Amino acid sequence: MAEPYIMLVSSLPYLPPFEQAERSPITRLRLEQRLHNLDADDARQLAEAEALVSWRMSLAKPKTDAEMVLRSRAAMQAISQPALREFIEFRIDQQVILAGLRQRNAGADASALEPITAASRWVRYMTAHWEDPTFKLTAIYPWIAEAHRYLDSNNAGALDSLMMHVIWQRLGRITENNRFGFEAVFAFVFKWDILQAWLARDAAQAKSRFQDLIKEIKNDS
């Protein structure tokens, strides 16, 4: 759609940085109502992208490496919006790099990545630099060194926060390229997704802390 989505973008609320958010400024229902103003093909492409790389789509995540490759290929064939394609490639690359870090951390050799060679342009490069802590990719992905440290220290929470921050920043740059176009719309949707995931994680942690406190009280009584 050539015409920018000025009215749609203007109707979306401000999203605070996810780490500072206490609640979501808009529900999914309200967001969907606004997204009804998308061009039909843009809406379809956004739905395809969400199903593949949304942070919270845990139930829809591929169950096997082969499924991951097939779904990523299918999505790239179905999505023609250049900025959205670039973002999907970025997210898949990120997931593949994390998979490599986790596999290596678990003691696997480079052959562990063979089933997903077709998923990312970096797989062969990673296998060639398997012994390097960052696969010699820090010039392109500066966050890998930090992710490696968090994996080594088994700090899953910090790793999640880092990945969310990396995606959030990427989406911010995408918005700057076209503040009233499709880029701004899909960037908002994926930022909203991260914010929801962060709030849900905080809620789960709060519940866990509360339950631990109850146990301590019972043990003391």
Q: What would the pLDDT profile of 103-120 be if each residue is shown by its tens digit? A: 999 899 999 888 888 888
pLDDT for 210: 41
Q: What would the pLDDT profile of 5-27 be if each residue is shown by its tens digit? A: 999 999 999 999 999 998 999 99
Angle at 169 between CA 188 and CA 83, to 5 degrees: 60
Residue 129 has pLDDT above 70, yes or no: yes
- Radius of gyration of the CA atoms of the chain, in A: 19
Domain ranges in the chain? 28-220
8 Å CB contact between 64 and 71: no
Q: What would the pLDDT profile of 131-189 be if each residue is shown by its tens digit? A: 999 999 999 999 999 999 999 999 989 999 999 999 999 999 999 989 999 999 999 99
Question: What number of helices (H) and strands (E) belong to the chain?
Answer: 9, 0
In whole angstroms, give the CA distance from residue 180 to residue 167. 20
Q: What would the pLDDT profile of 179-193 be if each residue is shown by its tens digit? A: 999 999 999 999 999
Q: What would the pLDDT profile of 66-91 be if each residue is shown by its tens digit? A: 676 777 777 778 899 999 999 999 99
